[in-house]
């Protein structure tokens, strides 16, 4: 079996964990593949091959070593290649981790076929100008965030669902998340936690200037359209990546993607058990 390893080398312990992972994969008679740019870190390991990430599709699975942010970025790459994704925790909370750093032997269970995959919905996000031209498109595993940029001022966001007006927020911004993303930025902004198996779209305001502004949970097939009041520069960020400007008069359209991510689950702990463990520390 062949694994494409994507470590987040900015994590202080990612190097040591990845080394141990490479050894474990070799012990199980499998092959580890790394991006060519990482050869300077791991070139000493026998049996490890290096290639460009375009070759990811030739592997059986993707392993991310890092935290949830690293996992989200790796999951996008795995989804494009239609491969399952395994997360090895080298961070702190890591709600999405499949394996902790002291559980690397569980890779053997994956090789034996003792695992399941959880299909997680993605969001399809576009910015469309007033001439109906698509200016930007992306997929989100966690969330899409519309917020203000530049001067610190409140913004008015108008949001419709399936063509009908839904809500207006006077706020710093709005988060549209998948159930997977409900434990990320949306949770910090006061949003609810949604079990990943519940296919839905979560809308949460950021610092709303109203005591009545709350999160809204919508059906998984909903189409959201978000416009702003043009009183200042607005930006869109998908899964925490580099933000793009939303031009005046443009609309942000968000709906369920036709793609989904395959998250590997090896242990038999439930989502609620994981949540309680991570929140309680």
3-state SS, residue 95:
coil
86-117 burial code (b ≥16 CB/10 A, e <16): bbbbbbeebbbbbbebeebebbbebbeeebee
Dihedral in degrees, nearest 10, Cα atoms 182, 53, 83, 257 = 50
Q: Are 90 and 65 in contact (CB under 8 A)?
A: yes
The helix, strand and coil proportions of the chain, stated in percent and rounded to the nearest 5, come to 25, 40, 35
DSSP 99: B
Decide if 239 is catalytic: no
Pick the catalytic residue: 52, 60, 68, 269? 68
DSSP 93: S
- Catalytic residue positions? 68
């Amino acid at each position: 079996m062949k694994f494409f390893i994507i470590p987040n080398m900015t994590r202080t312990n990612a190097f040591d964990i990845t080394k141990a992972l490479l050894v474990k994969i070799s012990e199980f008679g499998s092959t580890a593949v790394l991006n060519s740019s990482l050869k300077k870190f791991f070139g000493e390991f026998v049996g490890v091959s290096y290639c460009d990430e375009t070759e990811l599709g030739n592997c059986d699975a993707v392993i991310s070593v890092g935290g949830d942010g690293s996992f989200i970025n790796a999951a996008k790459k795995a989804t494009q290649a239609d491969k399952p994704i395994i997360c090895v925790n080298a961070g702190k909370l890591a709600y999405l981790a499949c394996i902790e750093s002291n559980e690397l032997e569980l890779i053997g269970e994956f090789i034996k076929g003792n695992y399941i995959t959880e299909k997680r919905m993605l969001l399809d996000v576009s910015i469309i100008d007033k001439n109906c031209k698509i200016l930007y498109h992306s997929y989100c595993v966690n969330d899409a965030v519309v917020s203000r940029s530049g001067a610190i001022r409140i913004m008015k966001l108008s949001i419709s669902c399936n063509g009908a007006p839904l809500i207006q927020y006077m706020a710093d911004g709005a988060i549209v998340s998948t159930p997977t993303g409900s434990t990320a930025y949306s949770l910090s902004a006061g949003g609810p936690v949604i079990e990943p198996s519940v296919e839905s779209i979560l809308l949460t305001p950021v610092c709303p200037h109203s005591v009545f502004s709350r999160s809204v949970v919508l059906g998984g097939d909903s189409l959201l359209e978000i416009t702003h009041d043009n009183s200042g520069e607005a930006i869109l960020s998908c899964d925490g990546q580099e933000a793009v400007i939303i031009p005046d008069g443009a609309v942000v359209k968000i709906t369920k993607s036709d793609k989904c991510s395959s998250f590997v689950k090896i242990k038999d702990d439930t989502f609620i058990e994981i949540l309680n463990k991570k929140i309680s520390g």
